[in-house]
Structure 1
């Protein structure tokens, strides 16, 4: 009788354990979902192109400070210095800048994507922007974030100073084409101690996209607006390195709270995740918007493939890295860290690619 009794309780415990295990699979925590994506991407991280591996590794290092991402950081530095080496030797004169930009701009003209056509139309009268904003400035700013600069930094700054960025960042058509990129660039210019056109851009952005006209925007243009908003916060945080004071961007957070259901309904997963991360940067993890975005992002994960596919169902890891690394950050946020810099984390800079030097 005692043996039967023991077996009864054993099978009860086994059943309860099985139910609990299945429940965890069916209802994973946000952190478990983030780990599922990590386990999909990280074994193949160093098969990715330098830009993609650097994008993922830099964000994960700024979250975790885990030295296992050191090789990805090095790949990112190598990519940056490769760009700057080329720019400082081959794209220097106004004529070279113009030719480089026209060649790059032609790629937008031949692309079938609506966004590319909008960018081509807006930028064809000021093609140098493609070199200055999309090329040179981003590489200089990334080196600066590492506490580094290019050995020809003085020459590169002289190129920047030939052009008035206010023209680009206050043009409504440019904002409709490049909202998120312009948000990045105005903060990068300020970071580098060059032109300060942050306020000019924000004023022009709000005039280009008044909230009262949201319903008149196409799906593409509404996404461009929200993408621009999220990148204002990201750029102000030096990309997940510094906390944000909500009061300094109250108009953005108020807009999110009022329109979160529309944002979820009309934008893609990467933009939705960025909205949630904006709140996390401001220390607002308890805000209902965060849980709404986390729930949407968690539900978007394909459990079979361990990642969030594209809206068309594409599961390519390289093209899907952006939305998935954002999902990891949203679901398993670890705070802001000023990193990596050569002064604070010198162990990450034992080998610096040729052409970069300490500031």
Structure 2
């Protein structure tokens, strides 16, 4: 009888353990879901192109300060200096800037997508923006974030100063075409100590996208608006390096709270994740918006593939890196860190690619 009871309790415990284990699998924590995505991407990280590996590795390092991402950061530095080496030798004169930009602009002309057509139409009368904003400025700002500069930094700054960025960042058609990019660029200019047009851009952005006109926007334009909002916050934080004060951007956070259900219903997972991360940057971890976005993002994970597929079901890791690294950050937020810089994290900069130097 005692043996029978022992077996009974053993199988009861085994059953309960099995139910609990299955429950954990069916209802993982947000952190467990983030780890699942990490385990999908990180074994393949160094098979990715330099831009993609650097994008992932830099964000993960800024979150974790884990030196295992050092090689990805080096790849990013190499990409940046390769761009700046070329720009400082081949794209210097106004004529070279014009030719480079027109060639790049043709890529947008041939695409049937609304976003590409808007970019072509808005930029064809000021094609130099393709070089200045999309090319040169981002590479200079990234080097600066690392505490570095290009050996021809003076020359590159002279190129920037030939052009008035206020023209680009206050043009409604440019904002409708490049909202997120312009948000980045106005903060990069300020970061570099060059032209400060942050306030000009924000005023023009709000005039271009008044909240009362949301119902009139196409799906693409509504996403462009929300991307613009999220990138104002991201750029102000130097991309996850500095905390944000909600009151400084109250109009953005008020908009999110009022419209979060519309944002979830009408935008893609990467936009939704960015909204949630904006709240985390402001220290608003317990705001209901954060849990709403986390819940949506967690449910979007395809557990068979360990990632969030595209809206068409594509599971390619390279093209899906952006939405998935954002998902990791949202689901397993580790705070802001001013990193990496050559002064504070010299171990990351033991080998600096040729052409870069300490500021």
Fold in common (TM above 0.5) = yes
**Where does residue 165 of structure 1 map in the other structure?**
165
Distance, in Å, in 1 between the alignment partners of 2:126 and 2:44 is: 40
* 3-state SS of paired residue (1:149): strand
Q: CA deviation at 1:112?
A: 2.2
Partner deviation per Cα, 1:170-199 (whole Å, 9 max, x = no partner):
000000000000000000000000000000
* 3-state SS of paired residue (2:149): strand
Partner deviation per Cα, 1:263-305 (whole Å, 9 max, x = no partner):
0000000000000000000000000000000000000000111
Moved over 4 A (4+): none
Alignment coverage as a number of residue pairs: 359
TM-score by length of 1: 1.00
Partner deviation per Cα, 1:52-104 (whole Å, 9 max, x = no partner):
00000000000000000000000000000000000000000000000000000
Q: CA deviation at 1:146?
A: 0.1
Q: How does 1:225-236 map to 2 (within 5 A)?
A: 225-236=225-236
Distance, in Å, in 1 between the alignment partners of 2:249 and 2:39 is: 35
Structure 1 gap ranges (5+): none
Distance, in Å, in 1 between the alignment partners of 2:274 and 2:183 is: 14
Partner deviation per Cα, 1:102-125 (whole Å, 9 max, x = no partner):
000000001122111110000000
Q: CA deviation at 1:6?
A: 1.1
Distance, in Å, in 1 between the alignment partners of 2:95 and 2:241 is: 37
**Where does residue 248 of structure 2 map in the other structure?**
248
Q: CA deviation at 1:321?
A: 0.2
Q: How does 1:1-359 map to 2 (within 5 A)?
A: 1-359=1-359
Q: CA RMSD in A?
A: 0.4
Partner deviation per Cα, 1:21-76 (whole Å, 9 max, x = no partner):
10011110000000000000000000000000000000000000000000000000
TM-score by length of 2: 1.00
* 3-state SS of paired residue (2:357): strand
Partner deviation per Cα, 1:218-257 (whole Å, 9 max, x = no partner):
0000000000000000000000000000000000000000
* 3-state SS of paired residue (1:357): strand
Distance, in Å, in 1 between the alignment partners of 2:40 and 2:67 is: 19
Q: CA deviation at 1:2?
A: 1.3
